[in-house]
Amino acid sequence: MKELSKRLTDLNIGTVKENEPLANHTTIKIGGPADIYIEPSSIDNLKKAMELIREAKVKWTAIGRGSNLLVSDKGIEGVVIKLGPGLAHMEIDGAKVTAGGGYSVVSLAMTISRKGLSGLEFAGGIPGSVGGAVYMNAGAHGSDISRILEKAHILFEDGTIEWLANEDMEFSYRTSILQKKRPGIVLEAVFQLNEGDRESIVAEIQKNKDYRKETQPWNYPCAGSIFRNPLPDYAGKLIENAGLKGHSIGGAKISEMHGNFIVNAGNATADDVLALIQHVKDTVFDKYGINIETEVEIIGRK
């Protein structure tokens, strides 16, 4: 690892650190160290880094803004690639918007709404990056990324780079082809939006942001929704009806505002969160006979 770290540093690709605590890079403020942490300063530098990583035959993991993510207390083996400001470019061409994988979804939604472009109102409170949103087909308020994505520029594990059209992404509820079939990093995404009334678009996006503030515990470190909704049921409602709001294990606690959120109420560990997740799953199954699956991505050493 030392040799790879040195080679990456010598390439001048951006930030390179060893044993970087990933609690510094997740919204729930939990996570052990990355063997090597890099934050490439451009798409070209990310490509150069990936060539070295593949040559060294080292595992890699890509992260964005750290929401929807639970990292093991033991950290992550290999290289963690964070899509940060170096991949946060954005261009508007009429009703078509191209955004880098590291661009904030909230910032993108607000920026285009002020231009009178409609289609991302649902994302007003989604705290992730464009890359992560495409990767998991993020959604809210009855819409999701699959409704507006035209194509995505992907760097795959084998080093190939392709533009995948919407129909090639195999989108479904909180899922895309990138999660299992073809792991890769979203470098850029092109969204096809619609021109509309600026004032009503801004008002809608503000309404969605306000709704999140009123109903979700963003005043505490958290990872967003923990469970997928077992439609037509809703995970939060099942958890609330099971009497689990406020239940805690160690420093991890089920929010009293919303049953589908686990907050870091003070020095929580990933093991605390995992134990609480298992307790919720067991309780909901015992009470309702429903298996609820996690939406949050759980990664790192076992």
Report H helices in the chain: 2-10, 43-55, 105-114, 130-136, 198-215, 235-241, 270-288
Residue 130 neighbours by CB under 8 Å, 6+ apart = 64, 99, 100, 101, 102, 103, 104, 105, 108, 186, 189
Task: List the beta bridge partners of residue 194.
Answer: 118
Pairwise CA distance, residues 5 & 35, whole Å: 9
Pairwise CA distance, residues 61 & 16, whole Å: 14
Pairwise CA distance, residues 182 & 78, whole Å: 19
Q: How many Cβ atoms from other residues are within 10 Å of residue 205's Cβ?
A: 23
173: left (phi over 0), alpha (psi -120 to 50) or beta: beta
Q: Indicate which residue of 67, 113, 118, 225 is catalytic.
A: 225
Q: How many CA atoms lie within 13 A of 136 on its CB side?
A: 22
Residue 174 annotated in active site: yes
Pairwise CA distance, residues 149 & 152, whole Å: 8
Please measure the distance between the N-terminal and C-terminal CA atoms of the chain and give it in whole angstroms: 20
Q: Which of 59, 106, 99, 71 is nearest to 83 (CA)?
A: 99
Are 75 and 22 spatial neighbours (Cβ–Cβ below 8 Å)? yes
Q: Indicate which residue of 113, 118, 174, 188 is catalytic.
A: 174
Task: Catalogue the active-site residues.
Answer: 174, 225, 295
